[in-house]
A and B are shown apart, each in its own frame.
Chain A
Amino acid sequence: MTERVPVLKIGDVLLVSIQVELEDQVVLELQDDLAARIVESGATGVVIDITAVEIVDSFVGRMLATTAAISRMLDAQTVVVGMRPAVAITLVELGLSLGGVRTALTLEKGLDILARRDTTRPAQR
């Protein structure tokens, strides 16, 4: 019984809010879904909200890093928002500092980052 994580589109941004306990298969599906949706929708940003996520292990951490890299190649920027302090501490101790992943503390700040990036883009796209 695996349910996919919904991907919402708001303007130029794809928003994913992870509300379920993540099973590995669901994590992989989300990664693929996001890549497809970026191309399909021409989104310029992706926000992954992990406010409700209690643990990020190496599998989920790798998905966040991979998604950030894939979206970059597809001309979209990913921002991970809402990481809990305990999750951040654990990730660093695990050895995963997610260097290539842009983060913001709140959804609002994440959207701000993407909006700023958009205005600095060349007009012709």
Chain B
Amino acid sequence: MTGLAPVPDTGHETVPISSNDDVVRARQLVRSLAQRCKLSLVDQTKLVTAASELARNTLVYGGGGVMRVGLVRRDSRVGVTAVFEDSGPGIPDVDQALTDGWTSGGGLGLGLSGARRLVDDFTLDTEVGSGTQVAVTKWAR
């Protein structure tokens, strides 16, 4: 895949996403980091919800993968970055996948587009046949 993933700088963790249980654990890990960097309750909820959507996509469409997550710093700000990676089929049409309501499965088609709205930074890097990587960051205000 092309493109550089924003790697969380301090003490980041990598966890597998290969079952429904893992999706729950990924959510809990993101929540604890969001609390640690003092995101507001609303921002915590937004980030954890976005992570839940992306982890499920990794599992369902990517055939499983990993989440790398950690605190990030830029200038004087701190935030949480979570990167979801799989070596699945990739997304042939990114614009379509990011359209509200578009799904290739039986979903609502809100996961990707909704996750993008819920975070501050969103990057999607995908290549058909090699995989998908979605990185999201929420900054403390």
User: Which A residues form the contact surface with B (CB < 8 A)?
Assistant: 1-2, 21-25, 54-59, 61-62, 84-87, 89-90, 93-96
Number of A-B contacts (CB under 8 A): 74
B31 at the interface (CB under 8 A from A): yes
Q: Does A23 contact B24, Cβ atoms closer than 8 Å?
A: yes
Q: Which chain B positions have C-beta within 8 A of A95?
A: 100, 108, 110, 113-114, 117
Contact of B48 among A25, A54, A62 (CB under 8 A): A54
Q: How large is the interface on B (under 10, 10 to 19, 20 to 34, 35 or more residues)?
A: 20 to 34
Measured between alpha carbons, how far is A98 from B100 in the docked complex, in Å?
A: 15
Q: Max chain B CB contacts within 10 Å: which of A54, A58, A84, A87?
A: A58
CA distance A4 to B107 in the complex (A): 23
Chain B residues, CB < 8 A from A87: 45
Given A23-B23, A24-B20, A55-B52, does the pair A93, B108 have CB atoms closer than 8 Å? no
Residues of B close to A25: CB separation below 8 A: 20
Q: How far is the CB of A27 from chain B (nearest CB, A)?
A: 9
Give the docked Cα–Cα distance between A4 and B111 (Å).
25
- Show the binding face of B for A, using Cβ within 8 Å: 20-21, 23-24, 27-28, 31, 41-42, 44-46, 48-49, 52-53, 56, 100, 107-108, 110-111, 113-114, 117-118
Pair A93/B46 contact, Cβ less than 8 Å: yes
B28-A94 in contact (CB<8A): no
- Docked pose: A9 CA to B36 CA in angstroms: 40
Residues of A within 8 A of B118 (CB): 90, 93-94
Most buried by B among A2, A23, A85: A23
Taking CB atoms, residues of chain A closer than 8 Å to B23 are: 23-24
A-B contact pairs, 16 of them (CB 8 A): A23-B20, A24-B23, A54-B48, A55-B27, A55-B45, A57-B53, A58-B53, A58-B108, A58-B111, A62-B108, A84-B45, A85-B42, A89-B42, A90-B49, A95-B108, A96-B110
